[in-house]
Structure 1
Amino acid sequence: MDALKKTRIWTYSVIGVFFIAAVVIIINAYATTSVNDSGNVTEVSQAEPTMAPTPVPTMTPAEPDEKEAEDDDGLEEGQMRSFLSGLPVDKAMGMRRPIAVMLNNLKAAQPMCSISRADVVYEYVVEGAITRLMALFEDYEDLDKIGSVRSCREYFVYTELEFDAIYCHYGQASYAVDLLNSDYVDNLNGLGKEGDTVYYRTTDRKAPHNAYTGAEGIDAGIDMMGYRRNHYEDYKGKFKFCDLDKEVTNEEGMKITYMAPNYKINKPWFEYDEKREQYGRFQYDEPQIDELTGEQIYFDNVIFQYNKWAQLDEKDYLAFDCHSGGVIQYFTHGRMVPGIWLRDIKQAHNGNVDMCPIRYYDLEGNELEINNGKTFICVIQDTDIQNVTIRE
């Protein structure tokens, strides 16, 4: 069987799984809501998506196992499991809010600097079919060059709020202004009063591809803006990581070693490296490397997350529905299992569902465990699912 035929078989098989799942899973109970300035629950500010190709019925996630509350990993005194990677870290670092940095992903901005140090990376399409990345860093105190940094889109803010992060960006689309001005969003804006403190420009590239930040500037910016440095008291994190002495193998899933999300400009893909037991990231027809190390970037977990979306205007600005739920593909150890994503409204901080995390579930409603380590999440327009390529 030739590679193209095999690719099509895998792609159509996965779409079939999603269509079946749509009949048995319900997410309507997780309405698209938010909290306004007066504390009342309202519709979110994001525009209504234009299409929902598969009506997905309601589901109640399974109750968490009591074992989750126990610390059975034998951590050393003063340590905890990282909210971003699941790995042991000092409590002082683990309870400190991470930074979420908007990264320029145009070809002229390659290679990025310090992306290999990020624990979690998101990729979304923005206008013109280009993509932008958002990298979440827990341990960044020794980094003096992160970037290059670009501007905000509203859906990235909804995503960074899942991590209770401090959001770093250089400017913003007009559609994001109201959300950025919310009292529950803590951001460091290159165009704000803190801009010259937090960001700097290099001379090796032309603007807008030469704006960077680092630990010293970020630290000073947090002080200037008066933001809290630690997670709020009831923060629970986003991911459910497996125990430190175990691994998620996805044995029941499909063997998949090549995945391409069909982003049209950078045309990225992932390849599973059996020796490393990680996924290498490629884009622009070559391995994606980090300027800091000169080496390719790798991830332990890759998630394709499908969201409803809308085009907002003639300039091709987009909105993504980050609240209503949808389907996912989870890749680890060279295998894939399908699932769904839902907002965990029980974890809405102060009743604000914009601040509750998206969680991942299998098709029976059990929360998915993922492997400890680095995670890359491609958020994909749900109408493009038939064009995504995955193969053995």
Structure 2
Amino acid sequence: MKTRRIIATFLVFSLLLGASACKKKEKPSETTTELTTTEQTTTQPTSTTVDTVNGLYDPSNPNALNPLTGLQLMDPENEGMRSVAIVINNCYNALPQRGISEADAIYEYETEGGQTRLLALFADVNTVPEVGSLRSARVISSDLAAGTNSIFIHYGRNARVPDHLTEFGIDHVDGNNCSADSNSSANGPVVLGEGLFFWRDSTWLSLRSREHTAVSDGEHISAAIDYFNIDRVGETPLLFNFVPDNSVDIENGSPCTTLNVFFSATNDDALFTYDPEFFIYYKTQYGGEAQIDETSGNQVAVTNVIVLFADIQPHGDGTIDAYLQSGGNGLYASQGQMVPITWTKPTPNDPITIYNMDGDIVEVNRGVSYICVVDNDYESDTTYS
């Protein structure tokens, strides 16, 4: 699926750039074959969707529009269903991860000790591969999930999270309360007991600390959603102001072929490097190591990189607070260009909206987005060229 998204994004930009007489490179023919043979023929999306997406929908394409990417690659059966947002470990001892190359969007944010975690969003829970290692919730991750109306999936939580989830009505599943001690898909289909939907991978248990071993997949997460009577019906809003043509904001941007995001002294080199052939940024971290999905073998690759500088402060109990309601400055990179932005998120349930320097909502290119939430104090340490 990730390969399909990269190919689809490549096709979109190839056609658009060709139409505007810009330089483009020829795509290998075998990847075109993969794209055209894997689509399903099903019912067309409704006219309501056509009205909503402002030109992103192609009526000749039988697939539905993915609201997290703006690409028309989603199973129409998932239209009108909520996305899921899954907390994934990102400390060095928890690498490699699983499932991250298939996500429709990824948030990365700081937790305690300068470590970062990921929140991987999937528009269709049925497409979630085995994913992990799963980690515990923080208020910031619950708020990022709530802003997309996603069902929040986590494995444990800190003490302040339960009251916050209740106060703002954030639907969630805590895998720590419904997990088997060990299992492994490498040994065949995973069979869990009644009321269990997560497990600790038996292979990982032999290689890393226990807290870095929790996993699940779309089949079991979907079953958990039903088991806990969570309503999965509900629109997932468009993640950003996606545009069918090249973003005007990006066309007027500054060159950005490398973007190094400084989260903390612990994680100071989240580096995105642009590939002009496929119009994507590849991610490395921890001394230049490629961020690899263990299952697919693919490196994390995205169309858009968005950096949101935020007011992040110590809470006093060893944890931190991110005051997302304060908004802030930021950066938006795509197609080898970058523009400065500002952003807002007034309440936990509000989406993040990004603006250009004229105060207009930024046009965002279709494709997978990687959104970094970074302490204001490190704005000058985040660099690009």
TM-score, normalised relative to structure 2: 0.76
1:347-368 alpha-carbon deviations (Å, 9 max, x no partner): xxxxxx4312111111111111
Is 1:295 aligned with 2:298?
yes
**Greater Cα shift, 96-105 or 131-140:** 131-140
Q: Which amino acid in 2 is paired with 1:199?
A: F
Which structure 1 residue ranges, 5 or more long, are not aligned? 1-66, 346-352
State the match for 1:151 in structure 2.
Answer: 136
State how far apart, in whole Å, the 2-side matches of 1:321 and 1:128 are: 18
Distance in 2 of aligned mates of 1:140 and 1:368: 28
- 2:188 maps to none
Give the match for residue 322 of structure 2: 320
Report the 3-state secondary structure (helix = DSSP H, G, I; strand = E; otherwise coil) of the residue aligned with 2:240. Answer: coil
1:86 aligned partner: 70
Distance 1:176 1:216, change over 3 A: same
Q: CA deviation at 1:373?
A: 0.8
Aligned residue in 2 for 1:197:
196
Partner of residue 6, structure 2: none
Higher RCO (CA 8 Å, separation ≥ 6 residues) = 1
Kept after mapping to 2: 8 A contact 1:199/1:213: yes
Question: How far 1:130 moved relative to its partner?
Answer: 0.7
| Runs of 4+ more than 4 Å apart | 67-72, 193-196, 245-249
Scaled by the length of structure 1, what TM-score is found? 0.75
Note the C-alpha offset of 1:70. 4.7
How far, CA to CA, are the matches of 2:95 and 2:178 in structure 1? Answer: 28
Match of 2:333, as an amino acid? F
**Equivalent position of 1:262 in the other structure:** 262
Return the match for 1:279 from 281, 284, 287: 281
Distance in 2, matches of 1:69 and 1:208, equals 41
SS in 1 for 2:117: strand
Q: How many residues in Structure 1 have an aligned counterpart in Structure 2?
A: 313
Report the Cα distance in structure 2 between the residues aligned to 1:320 and 1:72, rounded to whole angstroms. Answer: 33
- Normalized per residue, the structure richer in helix is 2
Matching of residues 24-39 of structure 1 within 5 Å: none
Partner of residue 337 from structure 1, selected from 339, 347, 353: 339
Closer/same/farther in 2, CA of residues 248 and 117 from structure 1, 3 Å limit: farther
Q: Which amino acid aligns with 2:223?
A: A
**Aligned positions of 1:340-351 closer than 5 A:** 340-343=342-345
Secondary structure of the structure 1 residue equivalent to 2:170: coil
Residue aligning to 1:48: none
Q: Distance in 2 between matches of 1:188 and 1:182?
A: 16
Q: Secondary structure at the match of 1:160?
A: helix
**2:101 is the alignment partner of 1:116:** yes
Q: CA deviation at 1:73?
A: 3.8
Deviation at 1:144, TM superposition (A): 4.7
1:251: which partner in 2? 251
Amino acid at match of 1:210: T
Contact persistence 1:248–1:332 (CA under 8 A): no
Distance 2:320 2:259 in 1: 24
The alpha carbon displacement at 1:142 in A equals 5.0
State the shift of 1:259 in Å: 1.1
The RMSD of aligned alpha carbons is: 2.2
> Which residue of structure 1 aligns with residue 9 of structure 2?
none
Q: Does 1:218 align with 2:202?
A: no
Q: Whole-Å Cα distance in 2 between the matches of residues 68 and 229 of structure 1? A: 20
**Structure 1 residue 107: Cα displacement:** 1.3
The alpha carbon displacement at 1:268 in A equals 1.6
Task: Tell whether 2:367 aligns with 1:373.
Answer: yes
1:74 maps onto 2:55 in alignment: no
Distance verdict in 2 for CA 1:124–1:165, change over 3 Å? same
